[in-house]
Amino acid sequence: MAPPPANANLYAAFAEAFRRVPNQTAFQSPGVAPVTYGALHDKAERLAGAMVAAGIKPGDRVMVQAEKSIEQVVLYLATLKAGAVYNPLNTAYTPSELAHFIADAEPRLVVAPAARLAEIGTLAWHHGATGLWSLEADGSGELTERARASAPMASTCLREPDDLASLIYTSGTTGRSKGAMLSHGNLASNARTLLDIWGFVPGETLLHALPIYHVHGLFVALNTAFLNGSRMHWLDRFDVARVLTLLPDSDVMMGVPTFYTRLLAEPVFAADHCRRMRLFISGSAPLLAETHEAFTARTGHRILERYGMTETGMITSNPLTGERVAGSVGYALPGVAVRIGGHYFAQADDGRELPRGEVGGVELNGPNVFQGYWRLPDKTRAEFRPDGYFITGDQGIMAPDGRLTLVGRAKDMIISGGLNVYPAEIEQELSTIAGIGEAAVVGVSHPDFGEAVIAVLTPVGANPPDEAAILARLSGRLAKFKQPKRIFMVAELPRNAMGKVQKAELRKVYGETFKGKS
Ligand code: MCA
């Protein structure tokens, strides 16, 4: 008899790991009973059973916008198991931003707190949703009730490596977010590679304080923890006081640079907190060399900086053993080919690889590279070279030994506290406000968020709105992290001879806006 086909469903790999450590605590959270891997597996089987009973089919999108909870993780696992496509959304998105995601993803099931469902339910029905299940911050709601009442789904839906596992929205240069399609093969290959190169060993404890609506907290942290059977200290957000309490009982922490600057801002934070720690990892935004060095001086640990993108998962990493260089993102992951491509952002782009030591666009190929942008074939084609390399939009320089250093971004983008913000989207919103003529949005350095969004505007008419009125107007339309932290009015914007707004000039003029503040 022929052997059964191997199941590329990522949940099949998780289930294998869970079966090895059924009594190991998976999640430990303040004020909540610990959840073992055996219990987690049971919860995922029941919720998958409830989803299938409700008519969720392989390939259907399951959209969720909810506060971080263990039940939301169960939803992630159950969605994979049922062969559906997990589509998490930043909790900061407003209903007006959600309207785009709902129309674009056409989710079959939408999960959110009841209050949010009341706002977006009609639109979701209109776009084909057949289920709206509530999930509150404390884990209660229809989702949990249905799972509790359901029979477990014992089998795991058979999936091919290229079948979609997740749809993650990423902001776009033109203002509209695009859905990055990630397959079971993409996620599994990246997680297995990270498990190996970062040296995870069974019995370790991960301090998990990242949000789980994005690649970092969801795939980089959770997928590796699941394959390893790690125990997790589970925090709903980065609460520095709690982190200080839990660090002495942890082995690994993954964070955005803001985590590290916030720790360093605590005078009591010292090497003793890190006595058990094996590894601190940083990503999602550039880690300043001064933060890197200050952290080493305080704790004796060298933070391991790595580099990734929504579309590709992790791309490069500093080595576990070997030198972790401040300001460099390290070497291509095993199985991932990284090259510095032609100056595609300049007119002289001929698509050829540049010699090492020259600055150019970072491109890569490998099993981690996504399947394209959801329903945007032209956009997808434009981001790939004919030979299959993905064009990241970042500029970098590769040393002769393959070590990569990022030197800039080809795209007009801001990274605030590890979240990408595209000025075009905010400029578009600002331009719809009466009394505003032109708007230019730039990122300037910020001691807590790394970069902060600011807007420079020209007023028109007799009664232009003031800063408070503009922010009030934006608040219903743009997620908080995208809203300018400061707004400046000027008679006119600086322009070059071609009439293009000189954003570099604005960054210079307003560059010290947040100096010394936190
Ligand atoms: C919160 N605020 C922000 C941000 N977060 N403003 C700008 N940028 C932000 N990132 C707003 C809040 O709404 C609040 O406004 C004020 O700023 C202060 O909030 P605070 O309480 O300090 O925020 P927090 O809850 O402590 O969150 C800050 C944070 C968080 C810890 C930096 O944003 C975070 O966890 N970021 C990580 C994001 C992430 O996981 N990125 C990975 C993407 P007000 O006071 O007026 O209400 S994946 C990725 O990038 C790739 C693939 C990769 O390589 O990892």
Write the pLDDT tens digit of every residue in 156-214: 999 999 999 999 999 876 667 999 999 999 999 999 999 999 999 999 999 999 999 99
Q: Would the pLDDT of 81 be above 60?
A: yes
Report pLDDT for 409. Answer: 81
CA 37 to ligand 1 center in whole angstroms: 29
List the one residue out of 482, 478, 197, 411 whose CA is nearest residue 316: 197
Other beta carbons within 10 angstroms of residue 326's beta carbon come to 17
Atom of ligand 1 at shortest distance to CA of 448? 32
Overall average pLDDT of the 439-461 stretch: 96
Q: Are strands 61-64 and 109-112 parallel, antiparallel or unpaired?
A: parallel
Atom of ligand 1 at shortest distance to CA of 420? 50
Report pLDDT for 352. Answer: 79
Confirm or reject: Cβ of 308 under 6 Å from ligand 1.
Answer: yes
Q: Would the pLDDT of 419 be above 60?
A: yes
Quick check: pTM over 0.85?
Answer: yes
| Contacting residues for 242 by C-beta, under 8 A, at least 6 apart | 30, 209, 235
Report pLDDT for 435. Answer: 96
CA 419 to ligand 1 center in whole angstroms: 7
pLDDT grade for 346, boundaries at 50, 70 and 90:
very low
Report pLDDT for 349. Answer: 59
CA 483 to ligand 1 center in whole angstroms: 12
Q: Would the pLDDT of 277 be above 50?
A: yes
Residue pair 494/506 in contact (Cβ under 8 Å)? The answer is yes
312's tokens: 């590709």
Confirm or reject: Cβ of 211 under 6 Å from ligand 1.
Answer: yes
Residue pair 467/454 in contact (Cβ under 8 Å)? The answer is no
Overall average pLDDT of the 237-241 stretch: 98
Residue pair 157/51 in contact (Cβ under 8 Å)? The answer is no
Overall average pLDDT of the 122-139 stretch: 97
Give, as one character, the DSSP assignment of residue 274: G
Least confidently predicted of 177-191, 254-268, 360-374, 404-418: 404-418
Confirm or reject: Cβ of 216 under 6 Å from ligand 1.
Answer: yes
Confirm or reject: Cβ of 219 under 6 Å from ligand 1.
Answer: no
List the one residue out of 127, 18, 24, 109 whose CA is nearest residue 65: 109
Report pLDDT for 1. Answer: 66
List the one residue out of 500, 501, 414, 515 whose CA is nearest residue 457: 501
Overall size of the chain counted in residues: 518
Report pLDDT for 484. Answer: 97
pLDDT grade for 347, boundaries at 50, 70 and 90:
very low
Least confidently predicted of 25-39, 171-185, 396-410: 171-185
- Extended strands (E) in 49-137: 61-64, 85-88, 109-112, 131-134
Report pLDDT for 28. Answer: 97
Q: Would the pLDDT of 249 be above 90?
A: yes
